[in-house]
């Protein structure tokens, strides 16, 4: 069985909150994500839904929330489930943006999904 790779989240740059586009699950029950960060401070969530036309309230955590504090790293996680769609979201709740210091909280470089 061949695997399909997709981008769940592209570079977040200086954005305070970013939610990636939903990626349709291929019917697989086993998924892997690779998270690449560059001096990133904030949280990252891998979310899933069981609905074909989800609203914001229909998303739930597929994995526990990842919390980063000025981390430059690449991490991988594998998880299982029967989902309709998956997405990634990045938040910097509680952090104040400083216009004089763009990039002070780093970025999520990318989040990749393998299914």
Domain with 27, as residue range(s), is 5-93+104-114
Q: What is the dihedral of CA 12, 108, 79, 93, to 10 degrees?
A: -80
pLDDT of residue 72: 96
What would the mean pLDDT of 85-110 be, rounded to a whole number?
Answer: 86
pLDDT of residue 28: 72
**Does residue 51 fall inside a structural domain?**
yes
Mode of pairing for the β-strands spanning 30-49 and 60-61 = antiparallel
Q: What is the CATH number of the domain that holds 62?
A: 2.60.120.260
What would the mean pLDDT of 7-31 be, rounded to a whole number?
Answer: 92
Question: 37-60: per-residue pLDDT in tens?
Answer: 999 999 999 999 999 999 999 999
Contacts of residue 77, defined as CB under 8 A and 6 or more positions apart, other chains included, come to 32, 33, 35, 46, 63
Total number of domains constituting the chain: 1
- Taking residue 50's Cβ as centre, other Cβ atoms within 10 Å add up to 14
Query: What SS3 string covers 67-97?
Result: EEEEEEEEEEEEEECCCCEEEEEEECCCCCC
pTM of the model: 0.91
Does residue 1 register a pLDDT over 70?
no
**Does residue 20 fall inside a structural domain?**
yes
Contacts of residue 100, defined as CB under 8 A and 6 or more positions apart, other chains included, come to none
Does residue 100 register a pLDDT over 70?
no
Does residue 94 register a pLDDT over 90?
no
């Amino acid at each position: 069985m061949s695997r399909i790779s997709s981008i769940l989240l592209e570079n977040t740059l200086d954005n305070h909150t970013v939610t990636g586009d939903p990626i349709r699950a291929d019917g697989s029950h086993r998924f892997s994500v690779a998270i690449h960060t560059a001096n990133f401070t904030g949280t990252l969530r891998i979310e899933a839904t069981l609905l074909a036309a989800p609203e914001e309230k229909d998303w739930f955590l597929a994995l526990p929330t990842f919390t980063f504090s000025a981390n430059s790293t690449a991490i991988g996680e594998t998880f299982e489930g029967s989902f309709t769609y998956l997405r990634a979201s990045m938040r910097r709740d509680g952090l104040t943006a400083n216009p004089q210091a763009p990039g002070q909280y780093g970025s999520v470089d990318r989040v990749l999904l393998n299914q």
